[in-house]
Structure 1
Amino acid sequence: MDHLIIYGDFNCPFSALASQRAIDLVDRARATVDWRAVEHDPAIPNGGVLVEGEVAAGFRQELDHVRSLLREGEPDVLRLPTRQVNTRRATVRYAGTPIEQRPGVRQALFAAHWSRGDAIDDDHVLDRIGAGTPNRSTAETWALDWRQADAVTVPVLVLPDGYRSRGLGALKRLAAMIG
């Protein structure tokens, strides 16, 4: 069974699809997955940005693109969020989540942001989801590893031989691995 590393941001609909595909791979015993959350756009202010105007148009375009990539049986659960959140807090809390709980917490974070519109930059929401205590060291290590790969996008899939597949290529590889 292959061991994969995937870097993704909770603010990215393409990362949400990669996360679902990672769950499918694990459920089918095709791979083990080490999901590493990264803050793709640290320029987003702490209070986030309202999703309106050009920001809303950009997200609609991304959501349409994600929908075009869905394979038969993959759920269409992503909705336009009300805010583009700064994911620093969610990333650091996810990094502090016990490893065995991370897959469930990861999916809960994506669902909270992309399906329910919850504020995943709020500690009360993160507590309800079951995110761990902040672990800045792990989050910083993940970010450094991601950046050292010249990554400017998410998701990034690291294959067992070290090859890194980025963005749409990563999604395509994950789909092919599912079969």
Structure 2
Amino acid sequence: MNFSFLILEFLKQQGQVLVPGFGTFYLKNTNALVDEGGKSILPPGKEVAFQIGNSAADDSFVRFVAQQKNIPVIDAEIEVKKQTNFWYSILEKEGKFVLENIGTFVLDDSQIHFTGYRTENLSPDFYGLEEIHLSEIKNSVPLSKPEDHQTSYRFSKKLYWLVPLLLG
């Protein structure tokens, strides 16, 4: 199990993840938007956001990692610390780091900037909303001429002659 999967699972359950020694990941609402190519419309959804640093000592994510990997809490804490040190070393060395399915970290002038990815439908608020592909939208019924509408609702004159003959 990789850490990005564990972070996403914890986000699904709790709505925010405090990774000790790194920062807090949380979910925020995003509006519907048209993608870059203008070929589809994405529905409203959730996006991963990040806040650097942590002032509170919360070990719930460490306990979650211990439970998921079936290891003691001390070993999970060491593993989380190793992972955060690895992320910091990649940022310092390359200046950019992509956390799979979560977002991209960029180190710029000793400031860490985060761009989060949209998540799959994690919230029941947006259940059933799906991406609309504009290329698939077609006019299924061609527009007809206005005179066709006028004649389709008119009674036939034959009916006027036929009713008196049948009554007679």
- Structure with the bigger RCO (C-alpha within 8 Å, sep 6+) is 1
Between Structure 1 and Structure 2, the one with more helix by share is 1
Same fold (TM > 0.5): no
Give the structure-2-normalised TM-score: 0.30
> Which of these two proteins has the greater Rg computed from alpha carbons?
2
> What is the TM-score with the length of structure 1 in the denominator?
0.28
